[in-house]
Structure formats: structure tokens, C-alpha cells
């Protein structure tokens, strides 16, 4: 588990696989503790916002396809998995708060 922390927002943890995807999308190495310096927050926020929008669009298309198939089969689709865009929400919120407060964000392996 990876803990994200900033003086600008409440800390939170993510499972390794999800945190790895977030950090790699931001261009960072997830395996080691790290920091997003204030100077990089706008760039990271812009990058992850674009990644989130693309993920939301893919999820929406997948849901439409599932509903169409279910209607053709005379059934209801099963539960949809949590999308990457949904997992990004706490990160995006922390980035916005950190940018507004001029505070960095750090992450580390939980219990490290």
C-alpha cells in the first residue's frame, strides 16, 4: 500500500497496483518514496486530468456496449468495475488542494 500525503489535504492510501498506475501515468517511479514538488503540480494535474478523462470515456463506451449486449440478450449487465478515472479522484483532489496551498505531495510505502 502506498500513502499519499500533503499538508494541504488529508492523506490516503492506495493498493500498490493502483498507486503504481497513478505514479507511472504521472511519470514517476512508484517503487520508492517520492515527492511532487510545488513547481510540478500544475503539470502533473494537467497530465492526470487528461488520463482521467480518457479513462472515463473508455469506461463509458464499455458500459454502453455492455448495456447494448444485455438488452439484445434480454438481461441486465453485471456490475461494472471501478475505473481508473474513479481511482484518480482522491489524487486529483489532493493535487488541486496542494497546488492552491503551495504544498508538495509525498508518497511512501505504508509502514515504511
- Total domains in the fold of the chain: 1
Q: Mind listing the pLDDT tens digit for each residue in 60-96?
A: 887 777 767 766 777 676 666 778 888 999 999 999 9
Q: Say if pTM beats, i.e. exceeds, 0.85.
A: no
What is the pLDDT, as a whole number, of residue 66? 72
Q: Mind listing the pLDDT tens digit for each residue in 50-65?
A: 999 998 888 888 777 7
Backbone angles phi, psi at 39, to 5 degrees: -65, -25
What is the pLDDT, as a whole number, of residue 54? 92
Could you list the residue range(s) of the whole structural domain that residue 66 is in? 2-109
CB count in 10 Å sphere of residue 70: 13
| Between 5 and 77, residue with greater pLDDT | 5
Contact 17, 2 (CB under 8 A): no
What is the pLDDT, as a whole number, of residue 8? 96
Q: Mind listing the pLDDT tens digit for each residue in 16-38?
A: 999 999 999 999 988 889 999 99
Q: Mind listing the pLDDT tens digit for each residue in 93-111?
A: 999 999 999 999 999 988 7
Amino acid at each position: 500500500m502506498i500513502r499519499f500525503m500533503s499538508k494541504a489535504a488529508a492523506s490516503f492510501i492506495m493498493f500498490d497496483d493502483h498507486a503504481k498506475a497513478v505514479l507511472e501515468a504521472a511519470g514517476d517511479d512508484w517503487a520508492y518514496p517520492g515527492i511532487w514538488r510545488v513547481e510540478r503540480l500544475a503539470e502533473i494535474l494537467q497530465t492526470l486530468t487528461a488520463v482521467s478523462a480518457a479513462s472515463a470515456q473508455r469506461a463509458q463506451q464499455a458500459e454502453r456496449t455492455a448495456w447494448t449486449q444485455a438488452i439484445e440478450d434480454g438481461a441486465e449487465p453485471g456490475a461494472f468495475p471501478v475505473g481508473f478515472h474513479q481511482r484518480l479522484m482522491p489524487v486529483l483532489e489532493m493535487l488541486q488542494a496542494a497546488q492552491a496551498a503551495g504544498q508538495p505531495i509525498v508518497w511512501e510505502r505504508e509502514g515504511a
